Amino acid sequence: MATAIGDLLKRKDLESESYTALLIEEPEAHLHPQLQDCLFGFFDRTTSQGVQVFLSTHSPTVTAKTTIEALLHLQATPDGNVKSVALTEFDLSADEKNHLRRFLDVTKSQLFFARSVILVEGISEALLLPVIASKLNLDLEKHGVEIVNIGGVAFAPFAKLFNNSEEAKRLDVRCAVVTDRDQGAQGNISARAQNAQALAGAGVQVFLADHTFEHELYEAGNQAVIGEIYGDMHPRTQIVSADDLLAKLRSNKDKADLAQRLSERLATDATALANFKIPTYLENTIRFVARSGNATN
């Protein structure tokens, strides 16, 4: 590749008015991620010298290095054609594009290669959803489902990749947004939950917990196993209610630890998994993304 690029740059110098392009299929082959980073930097410098570079890739490492404006998403459709969309045409504000530039790291960039996507608030949901799916005899990996932990509630920049009514302005992929309703005593839902609901459309559906993720897990009928696991974490502590659990999780910052221990228990203890009760909104989420179509990226 270095020899070919050197030749192109020499030709460019000799024919300054000519258009010069380099097309490369999957340059990441046989390269570990660090070398992929170096290679992309090499292509970037080549572009700055007047050679337009087109890369086809299945590498989230390469994708994460690419700007939103330069990304074209190719997708095989069920009728045997190929759909191409340019992310620069999507209805994203300048702030939303900047958000994606900051947060589309290697892990999150895998959403461009998924058959369906689940957007979650944090690590707890990301750890537990795959093992909860196994209770439904569904393997999220085999269904091409990518779980994206956005680390908060800023769902809009990600959801807008999938929810536009115009096909040319969205990825043709199912996307589930999983978040908390934070329902008050009067039954009203929080403003942030309303904002999440407003993102529904095209390929996006929003699934809300009545209160919070941990609250729903506990109240679904899993008091014994969650109480036991939290007791292992804090032997002098006893959980007496869902509200008590939430208060202790907030004060001790134990959410991720509890989720990891619970996921390990369910993955290794067949009896615990058989007795585990899945909150309805999570079951609906999993079944929604597992019904993804035949399109591949």
8 A C-beta contact, residue 63 and residue 40: no
Helix axes 223-233, 242-252, angle to 10 degrees: 30
Note the pTM of the prediction, 2 decimals: 0.88
Most confident by average pLDDT, 5-14, 39-48, 124-133: 124-133
Helix axes 223-233, 255-268, angle to 10 degrees: 120
Planar angle of CA 222, 228, 229, nearest 5 degrees: 95
Domain boundaries, the chain: 110-297
Residue type at 205 in one-letter notation: Q
253 backbone φψ class: left, alpha, beta (φ>0; ψ -120 to 50): left
Instruction: Over range 68-93, report the average pLDDT.
Output: 90
Digit-coded pLDDT (tens) for 131-147: 999 999 999 999 999 99
Highest mean pLDDT (candidates 15-24, 95-104, 168-177): 168-177
Residue 293, pLDDT above cutoff 50: no
Q: What is the DSSP string of 119-156?
A: EESSHHHHHHHHHHHHHTT--TTTTTEEEEE-SSS--H
Mean pLDDT score, 19-32: 88
- Work out the mean pLDDT of the chain and round it to a whole number: 89
